[in-house]
Structure 1
Amino acid sequence: MKKITLVAVLLLSAFACTQKSEVPKVDFKVDYEKFTLDNGLQVILHVDKSDPVVAVALTAHVGSAREVEGRTGFAHLFEHLLFLESENLGKGGLDKMSARIGGSGANGSTSRDRTNYYQTVPNDALEKMIWAEADKLGWFINTVTEPVLAKEKEVVKNEKRQRVDNQPYGHTSYVIDKNLYPEDHPYNWQVIGSLEDLQNATLQDVKDFFNRWYVPNNVTLTIAGDFDPEQAKAWVKKYFDEIPTGEPVKPLSPRPGKVAVTKRLYHEDNFARVPALTLTWPTVEQYSADAYALDVLSNYLSNGKSAPLNQVLVENKKLTSGVGMYNQASELAGQLQVSVRAFADTDLDEVLTAIEEGFAKFEKEGIPQKDLERIKAGQETGFYNSLSSVLGKGFQLAQYNIFANDPGFISKDIENILAVTTEDVMNAYNKYIKDKNYIATSFVPKGQKDLALENSEMAEVVEEKIVEGAEDDFNPKIAATYEKTPSTFDRSKEPPSGNAPEVKTPEVWQESLENGLKVYGIESKEVPLVQLNLVIDGGQLLDDPNKGGVANLTAQMMTKGTASKITGQLEEAIEQLGASIRVSASTESINISVNTLKRNYNAVIDLMEEILLEPRWDASEFELAKQAVISRIRQQEASPNSVAQNAYNRLIYGEGNIRAQNILGTVESVNEITMEDLKKYYDSYISPSVAKLHVVGDINTVGVMTSLRDLNSKWEAKAVQIPTYDPPARPTEATVYFFDIPDAKQSVLNFGYPALAVTDEDYYPATVMNYILGGGGFASRLTQELREDKGYTYGIRSGFSGSKTRGAFTISSGVRTNVSYESSQLVKDILTNYGKTYTEKDLETTKSFMIKSGARAFETAGAKLNMLENMSEYGWSADYVKERQQIVKDMTVEEIQRLAKEYLDPEKMIWLVVGDAKTQLKKMEQLGFGQPVLINKTTGPENK
């Protein structure tokens, strides 16, 4: 890492000295070694010994762009299938192994152009991971059977419902891409595919797709972290060498989208509460010269107070609380989008007129050089953030290798970013936006199509109908029978572990200021960044229960200007330094989070002090902030997940408890809040006496404490009493509650009750107990039974939340609508039998994961900040992770059974279902907890 830091200084110097007409030459690289096996597999190694961990990523150059119309979603389906089984790991092998070795959890992602599989593990497990990834590529496809395929189809369909069908504006991308790209263009369809195509996929289709694209000559293996490169090369050759090469893969040529005439489309969205307008133009593929200029253009037009679109739509016309604009550049094409969620009842024709005015303003004024440099500074910081973990480095190397044909393209990429000129930005605007045709989509609430753009046509959107028993029956537990794929050695034996890594707790320093502020720090020189978090206790707990939302608005207003800077000037000062300063409110605190380049740390601290000590309290900004909050509240009303969380909090904490309220407040309470309410909150509660500062990064104790001298003298302490608002006792009997969202494609389930505080003696042991129940991902029973065995859900989890005050134990999931009762009954059965069926093997898996995962406990800056926050909040020692490992080592099955009996009683839980009442409410009576209680007002005879 020393080399990265040293060369970074050269980069920063080059950037700082660049004049307007110069193109900087940058000597920046991440060291790597690349080699190619005889079968075509490309392997990239990057050594980083800062933590005893290693990230392994297998990336196939295949995404939805390699599919054909009518057989879409295959690439994404494979992302799922490849985790399930392989010939030598066995059923659930990779996920089970991940738990045993303390891995981060095997995961993957699919895009239009590539699919990757990745995990970070302690470095003693590297050979195991190489063995497992090779098995995935060469010894997998025989394990896919009709029942396995049928079950995984249901999982993927549930993912689509959760992410698309059951979300406000979820079909927007589908409508855009169908009209932006011709029918035969590989970007015409969505990565996740269609429900119909997924259902029609045959086993032979699946095998053909795998055999064509999942071949060594179409795959890159990346290994990054703390390992011996010579040993890694030997293992890669041992496990991958004999996998046969596939047919040559012909690269696809760039092909932009095509819009012959501007097209206006509208959709009445079942979940929308405010109208949304999106304009989309076809642009160019990634890494092309114009793509870099388009990134800057979209940032300048929409980001920040002084952005032309923001000035017109937000400041002047007050049509929305914000404008989103970005350039999505992929391997074959790009698309530039402007998205606006307008305030309720706003005519989108007004929004379009305002966007055109913003563009006209840009045409007249262009982009100032100062703003160009400001944007580049932010891009630079983002670049370092992407390299803050070994997995991030591995991703970057694979990305460049596949799409730029050079893992070392990182230096050229940075050079291209820094080379963008103001002329490039204006040329990109003229070439891709000015007077060019586009796709306009108006997504409006049901019954409000008059808000759509004039002369819009109804978009074609496929809405799934809820049909009881529509899914095929399957039994994924049936073992596959096949002739094993031969190998030159016995692959069924899992490789041994290496030497156990030595986990070193970061050295923590602690200081305090005379005004009472406590300071905690960890010096880390991996990248030239500093991150800090100032936590001021109180947050929503200090709100007046009769006027909710004050803490949230106070936090928002603290970044809306200072005594010497209006909002735009403050934003510009922060961004010119390539930094970010965010202020937010949570239930228990106000948080100021800072991310900055090391060289700008002191200047950024000065700006943070201004924000903290000299808020401007601008009246016009206050009204805009209130409008934005009200818009968010209305949008939450249409999001099943937000509805579920807000309703669950009310059920857990009860009337009169501030924790039961939405931190945003209500529409009524926000309307009643005055500036005086915010000033009173600020003057009474923002105090160093209840604050802790956590600092992680490339700065030592002296540097931090010296930078806080002004804060020590200027920030005066005051006495602050923070109420606790304990939750009520656990219910004495179970009750089913139902919140109706008509025609919901999924039901959101939240089951639980008030449980434990973090400081309770049983809290961490109960967390250990919960690992096999629902805290261990694919190692957990809830996931195995509801997702892997039944295909009811995309994901389900359980866990204890708490602080110094008791929090809830919660089981949460989104399930297919027509199995709401069946899913709930299965959860009930699992809870009832959990303690009785918990085994020594379950305990062994739990111990193995929780002890070995300690190697990953401190890898990222975020993990280190979390460690400091736990220490400051609960008074724990710097070795608390090791102390917790001892609790795990001492755990017994008998103790697990005691904890399960005490804390997993389904007969004393709150059972909340958020879904379609007309089809699911009556069925919930079968759960045996009495007649369900409908907790929201609904209309229509079927809901009475």
Structure 2
Amino acid sequence: MRSIKFHILAFLFTIVAGQAWSQQVAEATGFEVDFETFTLDNGLKVIFHVDRSDPVVAVALTSHVGSSREKEGRTGFAHLFEHLLFLESENLGKGGLDKLSARIGGSGANGSTSRDRTNYFQTVPNDALEKMLWAEADKLGYFINTVTEPVLAKEKQVVKNEKRQSVDNRPYGHTQYVIDKNLYPKDHPYNWQVIGSLEDLQNATLGDVKEFFNRWYVPNNVILTVAGDFDKDQAKGWVEKYFGEIKRGPAIPELEKQPANLQQIKKLYYEDNFARLPELTYAWPTVPSYHKDAYALEVLASYLADGKNAPFYKELVAEQKLTPNVQMYNYTSELAGQLMMEIQAYDGKDLDSVHAAVEKTFKKFEAEGISEKDLKRIKAGQETAFYNSLSSVLGKGFQLAQYEIFANDPNMINKEIDFILAVTPEDVMRVYKKYVQDKPFVVTSFVPKGQTEFALENSQLAEVEEEQIVMGAEQEFDLEEEVTYERTPSSFDRTVEPPYGNSPKVKVPEIWEENLSNGLEIYGITNSEVPLVQFMLEIKGGMLLEDPSTTGVSNLLANLLTKGTRNKTPQELEEAIELLGATIRVNATDEKIIISGSTLSKNYEATLALVEEILLEPRWDTEEFELTKQQVISRIQQQKASPNNIAANEFKKLIYGTSHILANDNLGTEESVQRITMKDLQDYYTNNLSPNLASFLVVGDIEQDRAVTGVKDLTADWSVKKVNFKDLPELAAPEKSRVYFYDVPGAKQSVLHIGYPALAETDEDFFPATIMNYRLGGGSFASQLTQELREGKGYTYGIRSGFDGSTLKGPFLISSGVRSNITYEAVDLVKQILENYPKNFNEQDLEVTKGFMTKSNARKFETLGSKLQMLREISNFNRPKDFVLQQEETVRKITVPQIKALAEKYVDPNKMYYLIVGDAATQLDRLEQLGFGKPVLLNGEVK
């Protein structure tokens, strides 16, 4: 790491102007992250950051091990450990950190694995800090003896299901595998994927696993970060107590930087089982994380591909109409980096024409470069994104550990803005010439089945291993088997869980409101933790005000509103937004049109002035209208390839029925979007957007008077209209359950959607039903569905249940992706859990539910986003300002008999729709065993 630090320090001498600029920013915002570091005798590095804004604390354990430390043939181990460490340790017992998290009101213990590090993290009320340190130390020093053959066999199935869900069962899922296999040589640690291969995971032995843990999970390879509201001296004592006697491991040598060193262009193609559109993906070798060139490469990628002013947008999207968008990003890791570009073409477009357009755009960039103005707008956006990444205590904790490991300097948290702002136009052209111009690259053509003619010429067939659906192929395991092991010695009794500290007092933010004469409501919260403001203008309507023959009008309108204004071209509008370091988005939902965004506090008024133009002075650009229609149709086509999207859309049809407008996808259909005219959009806009149907929500570094004045200016010329909402059909649960099946031949997973029309959020029973659902499927690892289908059987990577209502009745939904060859078994187990839940819910279940739902309120308002969500609930459902405290009282008072009654009423498995999206040839007939009659096939015939 010393070499990285040397390069960074050398680079600092070249950026005096950038430092001056960023110093002015720091002085203007007063933003700086204070922290303290120390190292235990066993090598554990500890970083503390104190933040008193909320009574919460984030704890993260980061191990300097990712897939790059694995052996060929034993890939996926680092990610496998991310799973294993949550299950059990010697002193936490079965359920491990997940079980503890549910009791103490944690945000949900989680982890992530990259090529170079694995981290474990969660945010908890600050009275649970000692408990968390005890638990994290138990994972590090008192864990490995609890890993048995059955535990390993089960978790292999969970990880394999994650791979099926995130890679094997989605369009273009194998692209990164093909890229990395060809970008890096076989002996390079980035040649394989972080998640590993199904074969390697299956072949992992208990001995392999223990060897991996003992090599990498040692204090001298780990960083502990604690960020939030806590006493540093007290916490130091706890850290020393719980971590201090864990033995140091062998010295771990640094890995040398290993650039890809590609010698020639490689072109590959693959016929994708799920793709409906051809996609081109490029990778150029670049530099590792925190290399001095990484910042200019980030700017290069943003300039070339992001937004309407981007050269690739102008050529490939607007001019040649080859694709709806181009994505480009610099993917950096510890040992090497790669500049990536992804282009999903329109239906029927040859990828050779896309490649020719890419080459043409590069040539133009070589001649013109990047202007100072473009560079300024990109930096403004990067500055805002940087502050957003540090807006929570967990975000600060993450970044401190990241900087310590990969930059050898946690104080980069206060210096990286210097590097971001120091990039010059010359730097951008220099890195382009050094890493892209006339340099070798890997490019893949992923095309739909039977459409190899669309692949790049002279491409070679890529090698991809596709899993076959084989019934009964998975390894059996028995988790009930009695296991004994020798305990790791300790100087004190670690089986005793530490007590809670002083109970945190829930701080409900002070909320202000104001009602304008035109009927618009304003709700706000002032919070100056970071120099940002987030806002949201919600207008009732959305798809509810559409004609069934032209569904998709509100979505098209939302898209078009950001495509220029009366006085600004689309490019000029986008540039004006970006120069402010702001984002402004317009989107349509089933029930609303929403204009939302964020900006630096100092630019609030200027940002709202642009919102005013977007809202009240549309451009109605005919060229942009046709382009937007084409982009939406492309999205609709691609959705047809995604089992998850298919499940969502087919489930809506079952829930709402054919006569309800909300049975439709708010994107519309290919046919309805083709029919929509500009006049349809203008009529919708003129008749339906009215301030008396709107609310404006604002949170952040801004006082009430200033916030309200901005909204008054925004809405002064917005006229009130009389808007008529049509009566909607009543929704009712089915009288008896029925199974529906949508066939996706060769699907590696079956996607389950099980449920019925249940409750509106304004119903008296909605929140009590949510309490009831916590132990069923709303509590992640604390839920029965997760414990039985994932932890007990290894059927799935994840499963959840919940009530989703608004002022209108919405569905109760259980959703999951399960491995194909146990589809019937998984659905039958869900059915059994639903049948038994009202009977087996007990006092212990209620205690866990109450513990989580009351203690978790301490972290309910930490981020700007969470504060904005609270305002939405107050505005949308007319809740009192202290509704969180009132709900907390409801949780405290609820009883086991009340929960049982709610479960009897709202989760009856015999009155639900059972929708399965999967491989009908192997799974359809078996589902008749559920006892709900012959399954209804929704598409085609099974061959």
Q: Normalising to structure 2: TM-score of the pair? A: 0.97
1:799 paired with 2:796, answer no
Q: 2: distance between equivalents of 1:754 and 1:570? A: 42
Please state how far the C-alpha of 1:478 moved relative to its aligned partner.
2.4
- Post-superposition shift, 1:644? 0.3
Name the counterpart of 2:516: 513
Query: Which of 660, 663, 666 pairs up with 2:666?
Result: 663
The equivalent position to 1:809 in structure 2, one of 771, 792, 812, is 812
Q: Say whether residues 1:324 and 2:327 are aligned partners.
A: yes
Question: How far apart in 2 are the matches of 1:22 and 1:770?
Answer: 54
Q: Is the 8 A contact 1:513 1:712 kept in 2?
A: no
Contact 2:19 2:418 (C-alpha < 8 Å) held by counterparts: no
1:267 to 243, 263, 270: 270
1:282 aligns with 2:276: no
Matched-pair contact (CA < 8 Å) for 2:390–2:396: yes
Residue 648 of structure 1 aligns with an amino acid whose one-letter code is F
- Map of 2:8 onto structure 1: none
Q: How does 1:856-895 map to 2 (within 5 A)?
A: 856-895=859-898
Partner secondary structure for residue 488 of structure 2: coil
| TM-fit CA distance, 1:469 | 0.3
Q: Distance in 2 between matches of 1:900 and 1:527?
A: 43
Bigger drift between 653-662 and 714-723 goes to 714-723
For the pair 1:493 / 2:493, whether they are aligned, the reply is: no
Q: Percent identity?
A: 64
Residue 34 of structure 1 pairs with residue 37 of structure 2:
yes
Name the CA distance, whole Å, in 1 between partners of 2:413 and 2:103.
Answer: 35
Q: What SS does structure 1 have at the residue aligned with 2:293?
A: helix
How far residue 21 of structure 1 moved from its aligned partner, in angstroms, is 12
Deviations 1:693-726 (A, max 9, x none): 0000111110011212323421111111223635
Alpha-carbon distance in 2 for matches of 1:131, 1:672: 62
Counterpart for residue 468 of structure 1: 471
Q: Secondary structure at the match of 1:870?
A: helix
1:235 aligns with 238
Distance 1:307 1:42 in 2: 43
Residue 833 (structure 2) aligns with:
830
Contact 1:101–1:125, Cα closer than 8 Å, also in 2: yes
For residue 9 of structure 2, what is the aligned residue in structure 1? none
User: Equivalent residues in 2 for 1:71-110 (5 A)?
Assistant: 71-110=74-113
1:502 is paired with a residue of what secondary structure? coil
Which one of the candidate residues 398, 403, 417 is aligned to 2:401? 398
- Matched residue SS, 2:445: strand
- SS, match of residue 408 in structure 1: helix
1:484 to 487, 491, 498: 487
Post-superposition Cα deviations, 1:9-66, rounded to whole Å, max 9, x if no partner, equal xxxxx9xx99799886676741001000000000000000000000000000000000
Deviation at 1:479, TM superposition (A): 3.8
Task: Give the Cα–Cα distance (whole angstroms) in 2 for the partners of residues 536 and 733 of structure 1.
Answer: 38
1:723 corresponds to 2:726: yes
Q: Does 1:151 align with 2:154?
A: yes
User: Which of 567-576 and 253-262 deviates more?
Assistant: 253-262
Q: Which residue of 2 aligns with 1:11?
A: none
- Amino acid corresponding to residue 282 of structure 2 in structure 1: L
1:610 aligns with 2:613: yes
Residue of structure 1 equivalent to 2:6: none
Task: Give the secondary structure class of the aligned counterpart of 1:277.
Answer: strand
> What residue number does 1:47 align with?
50
CA distance in 1, matches of 2:72, 2:779: 37
Which consecutive segments of 4 or more residues in structure 1 shift more than 3 A?
Answer: 17-29
Aligned residues of 2:18 and 2:421 also touching (Cα < 8 A)? no
Is 1:534 paired with 2:537? Answer: yes
Is contact 1:752-1:911 (8 Å) kept? Answer: yes
Match of 2:173, SS state, is coil
> Are 1:304 and 2:307 an aligned pair?
yes
Partner SS, residue 45 of structure 1 = strand
Match for 1:921: what amino acid?
A: L
- Shift of the alpha carbon at 1:124? 0.2
Distance 1:906 1:926 in 2: 15
* Structure 1 residue 435: Cα displacement: 0.6
Say if 1:477 and 1:789, in contact at 8 Å, map to a contact too.
no
RMSD of equivalent CA atoms: 1.3
- Judged with a 3 Å threshold, the aligned counterparts in structure 2 of structure 1 residues 484 and 433 are, in CA distance, closer, same or farther, namely same
- Aligned partner of 2:261 in structure 1 is 258
| AA in 2 matched with 1:371 | D
- Pick aligned residue for 1:439 from 434, 437, 442: 442
Partner of 2:3: none
> Which residue of the partner structure matches residue 682 of structure 1?
685
1:936 shift after superposition: 1.1
| CA deviation profile, 1:552-590 (whole Å, cap 9, x unmatched) | 000000000000001000000000010000000000100
Match of 1:598 among 588, 596, 601: 601
Supply the distance in 2 between the matched residues of 1:706 and 1:21 (Cα, whole angstroms): 35
Which residue pairs with 2:588 in the alignment?
585
The change in CA–CA distance for 1:195 and 1:519 in structure 2 (over 3 A counts) is: same
Residue aligning to 2:631: 628
Letter in 2 for 1:559: T
Going from structure 1 to structure 2, the CA distance change for 1:770 and 1:255 (only over 3 Å counts) comes to same
The 5-angstrom pairing of residues 177-216 of structure 1 reads: 177-216=180-219
Alignment match of 1:218 (pick from 217, 221, 227): 221
User: Separation in 2 of the partners of 1:709 and 1:511?
Assistant: 11
Please give the per-residue CA displacement for 1:590-647, whole angstroms capped at 9, x wherever unaligned.
Answer: 0001100001111101001000100101000000000000000000000000000000
Which residue, out of 828, 835, 845, partners 1:842?
845
1:416 Cα deviation after fit: 1.0
Q: Deviations over 1:761-791 (max 9, x none)?
A: 1111111000000000000000000000100
| Equivalent residue in structure 2 for 1:915, among 895, 914, 918 | 918
TM-score (norm 1): 0.97
Structure 2: distance between partners of 1:746 and 1:283: 36
1:385 and 2:388 are equivalent in the alignment: yes
Structure 1 unaligned blocks of 5 or more: 1-13
Equivalent-residue separation in structure 2 for 1:684 and 1:443 (angstroms): 44
Tell me the CA shift for residue 340 of structure 1.
0.3
| Correspondence for 1:854 among 853, 857, 861 | 857
How many residues align structurally? Answer: 925
The answer to whether the 8 Å contact 1:515/1:688 transfers is yes
Instruction: Determine the structure 2 residue equivalent to 1:6.
Output: none
Give the Cα–Cα distance (whole angstroms) in 2 for the partners of residues 400 and 721 of structure 1.
55
Query: Within the alignment, does 1:315 sit opposite 2:325 as a pair?
Result: no
Is 2:50–2:227's contact at 8 Å kept on the other side of the alignment? Answer: yes
Aligned match of 2:755: 752
TM-superposition CA deviations, 1:736-782 (whole Å, max 9, x none): 00000000000000000000111111111111000000000000000
Tell whether 2:823 aligns with 1:820: yes
Pair 1:671–1:136, CA change in 2 (3 A): same
Moved more, 697-706 or 267-276: 697-706
Matches within 5 A, 1:530-569: 530-569=533-572
2:505 paired residue among 502, 515, 518 = 502
Q: Deviations over 1:522-555 (max 9, x none)?
A: 0001100000000000011111111110000000
Provide the C-alpha distance between the structure 2 equivalents of 1:723 and 1:805, rounded to a whole number of angstroms.
13
- Which residue, 768, 771, 774 being the options, matches 2:771? 768
Matched, 1:926 2:923: no
Q: Deviations over 1:835-893 (max 9, x none)?
A: 11111000000001001111011111111111111111111111100110111111111
1:347 is aligned to: 350
Establish whether residue 292 from structure 1 lines up as the match of residue 274 from structure 2.
Answer: no
Cα drift, residue 93 of structure 1: 2.3
Matched AA of 1:552: N
1:565 corresponds to which letter in structure 2?
A: K
Residue 358 (1) aligns with residue 349 (2): no
Name the residue aligned to 2:5: none
Is 721-730 or 533-542 further displaced after alignment? Answer: 721-730
Matched position secondary structure for 1:908: coil
